Amino acid sequence: MRLTPEIPVLRRWRSWAVAVLIAEISWFALLRPRTSAAGTLFVLALLPLAVVGYVYLMVAVSAYLADRRWDFRLRQMIVLMLGLSVGCFVFSLLWVAKVHFENEIG
């Protein structure tokens, strides 16, 4: 009996596709854009893809750090800082969307 699945989570495309779909739905539910301009909607749709890509990168770095023989507290601090950087990244994308698309967002 194996404790881990055959395919690592970073290589399962369905889970990342579901993450992108959830990010897109949540993003548009949060922003509630009033515009029907294709360019604005396209740019707003690309922002969650950047977030999911950044989260993927942070998960890959965390998986890489798990195999290192560093001190446990050092690895824990690095993963904590990576998680905080994801939060700052999401906050900055919300701020950019608010500043640049203030008239189109309800």
Q: What does the pLDDT look like over 34-62, one tens digit per residue? A: 766 777 778 778 888 888 888 888 888 87
Q: Into how many domains does the chain fold?
A: 1
In a domain, 106, yes or no: no
Tell if the pTM clears 0.85, that is, is over it: no
What length does the chain have? 106
- The percent of residues in the chain predicted with pLDDT above 90, rounded, is 2
21 within a domain of the structure (yes/no): yes
CA angle 95, 41, 19 (to 5 degrees): 75
Phi, psi of 42 (to 5 degrees): -65, -45
Tokens representing 67 are 């195999």
Give the range of the structural domain holding residue 24, as residue numbers without chain letter.
Answer: 9-100
